[in-house]
Amino acid sequence: MRVFLFLPVQNDANPVTIPLPEAIADYTMLQLSQLDLAADPDARRVVKDEAVAVEFAAAPGELMSLEGPNRYASGDAIVTGSGGERWVVSRERFDAKYVPEGGIAHGVAGTYRNRPSVVLAREMHEPFSIARSAAGDILTGDAGDWVMQYAPGDYGVVKAARFAKVYRIV
């Protein structure tokens, strides 16, 4: 994709076209849709192991994660990872995927650990974007980041450094 910058020229009704530097002009982003990592030979089966801090949304809202916007409904889990990263997990998914630690009751703010479960992941070698779900928030990743498939139609993006810290290939 070629990108051009249009600047008006004084006393001239026609703009001047100036190409941007190649590092910017050649930037493209792969847009992923209807991804099925089960059929991808480069996909890996991975398991996450992490204790996270959780609060539950009192009202609908949105937070900006490292990968893009995360809209949430009342009752959804707002999760803070071990490195300070924040993201949202719908209450339905959260209840199935996380267990409380330290004697707190499920559904109370505090520390939770994910239940070990195998998910599919693929390291990407170029910038990319993907919707979290059908008509969902659009997440973006850089070269070296991982696209995650938690279930058919359920996706995430994990930065390379975080992936190395909390996931293991099985």
* Average pLDDT over every residue of 23-27: 48
Residues 109 and 58 in one domain: yes
Q: Residue 2 domain-assigned?
A: no
Q: Residue 69 domain-assigned?
A: yes
Last residue of a domain, one of 86, 115, 144: 115
Q: Residue 88 domain-assigned?
A: yes
Last residue of a domain, one of 79, 95, 115: 115
Residues 44 and 123 in one domain: yes
Say what the pTM is: 0.78
Residues 43 and 121 in one domain: yes
pLDDT in tens, 29-52: 999 998 999 999 999 999 999 999
Residue 110 sits in which domain range? 50-115
pLDDT in tens, 117-165: 999 999 999 999 999 988 889 999 999 999 999 999 999 999 999 999 9
Q: How many domains does the chain have?
A: 2
* 153 backbone φψ class: left, alpha, beta (φ>0; ψ -120 to 50): left
The answer to whether residues 17 and 2 touch, using CB atoms and an 8 Å cutoff, is no
